[in-house]
Every structure is written in C-alpha cells, then in structure tokens.
C-alpha cells in the first residue's frame, strides 16, 4: 500500500462529492460507498467511518440523498443510500467545479 490519504484531510466538501459520485450508478450501503472510494482511488483514499456516516446523514437531512432499508449481497439487513434529483444536480455542479479547480491547480504547479 502506498501513501494513504485520509478523506478527513481532503478539502471540505470533497468527501460529499465522492459520496455523490459513488452513488451515481445506483444505491449502495455505507460500507460499499467506503469500499468503492477506496478501491477506485487505488487505496489512496481511505474513508474513515467516523467521517462517512455523519456525512451520509447530513446529506440525507439536506435532501441530497434518500435512504431505504434493504437486503445486502450477503443477506444482511442494510441501509441503502441513493441520489435524489437534487443530489444529481449537486454532483454535476461539483464535478465541474472540481475539474476547473484541479486544472487550475495543475497549471500553477506546472509553471516554471
């Protein structure tokens, strides 16, 4: 394992963006969200449970996510999160903002 970046250290709001992104292909429970982020980032980003669940609940309260209890792939009762329309809109906005921000940062860093 290389360098592990705790999502808690990421710029505020980034975790939410990652969660939104994780859910774009369909409902997931909290564990899979964390797993997906960790795997997709090639183990670079580790999502702390202590940050994940408050973020999920906060987003649910704000209407970005909705939740439903269902059965997990290994037959356990689990809480599944899904994007709301508001959440999708937010994801689009956040992706654009992120793209602009990262390219701007890249420009700055590449300057000689």
Partner 1 sequence: MAQNLHEFSLRVKTLFRKRRMDREMADELAFHQAMLKDKLMRQGVAREDADAAARRSFGNASRWHERLRELWQFRGLENLGRDVSFSLRVLRKSPGFTGVALLTLALGVGANTTVFSMINGLLLRPLAVPESGRLAVLGTDSGDPRIVYSFSAPFFRGLERRREVFSQVFAFAHHDMQVRGSSGTQSISGQLVSGDFFNSLETPPLLGRTLTPLDDSKGGNPSGFGVVISEEFWQRWFNRSSNVIGQKIQIDNIIFSVVGVMPKRFIGADPLERPDIFAPLALEPLLDGAHNATDAGIHAGWLTVMGRMKPGVTLEQANAQVAAGTSAVIHSLAVDPSDLARLSKRQMHFTAENGSAGFTYVRMMFSKPLGAVFAMCGGILLLACMNLASLLMARGAARQPELATRLALGATRRRLIQQLLVESLLIALMGTAAGLAVAPAVSKSLTLMLLGGEGEVHVDTSLDIRVFGFAALASVVASLLVGLVPALQATSSSLNEQIKSGQHTTQAQERRRVLPKVMMAGEVALALMLVVGAGLLASSLVRLYLSGTGFDAKGLENISLRLDRRPLQGEALIEFYQRLEDGLRRQPGVTGVSYARIVPFTHDVWDEDLFVGAGKVQDVYFNSVSPDYFKTMRIPLFDGRDFAWSDTTATGLKIILNQAAVKLLFPDRNPLGQFVSKQEGKKTVQYQVVGVVGDAKYEDLRSPAPAGAYLPMTQDDGSQGPSYNAVLRTNGPAGPLADAARSLVMSMDAEIPAPVMTPMSLTIDESLSAERTMAMLAVFFAACALVVTAVGLYGTLAYATARRTSEIGIRMALGARRSQVVRMVFLQNAAVAVTGTAVGLIAALLASRALASFLYGTSTRDPWVFAGSIFALALIASAASLLPALRSARIDPMAAIRCE
Residues that bind partner 1 (CB under 8 A): 29-31, 48-50, 53-54, 57-58, 60-63, 69, 72, 74, 76-79, 86
For residues 63 and 102, which CB has a smaller minimum distance to partner 1 in the complex? 63
Report the DSSP pairing between strands 45-46 and 5-6: parallel
Q: CB 100 → partner 1: shortest distance, Å?
A: 24
Q: CB 97 → partner 1: shortest distance, Å?
A: 18
For residues 82 and 104, which CB has a smaller minimum distance to partner 1 in the complex? 82
Other beta carbons within 10 Å of 57: 14
Q: CB 70 → partner 1: shortest distance, Å?
A: 11
Looking up tokens 């202590």 gives 50
> Taking CA 64 as the corner, what is the angle to CA 77 and CA 67, rounded to the nearest 5 degrees?
15
Q: What are phi and psi of 65, to 5 degrees?
A: -125, 155
């Amino acid at each position: 394992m290389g360098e592990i970046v705790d999502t808690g250290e990421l710029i505020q709001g980034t975790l939410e963006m990652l969660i939104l992104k994780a859910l774009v292909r369909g409902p997931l429970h909290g564990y899979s969200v964390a797993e997906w982020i960790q795997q997709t980032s090639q183990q670079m980003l580790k999502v702390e449970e202590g940050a994940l669940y408050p973020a999920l609940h906060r987003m649910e309260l704000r209407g970005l996510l909705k939740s439903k209890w269902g059965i997990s792939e290994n037959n356990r009762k689990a809480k599944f999160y899904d994007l709301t329309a508001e959440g999708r809109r937010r994801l689009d906005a956040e992706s654009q903002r992120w793209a602009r921000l990262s390219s701007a940062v890249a420009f700055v860093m590449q300057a000689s």
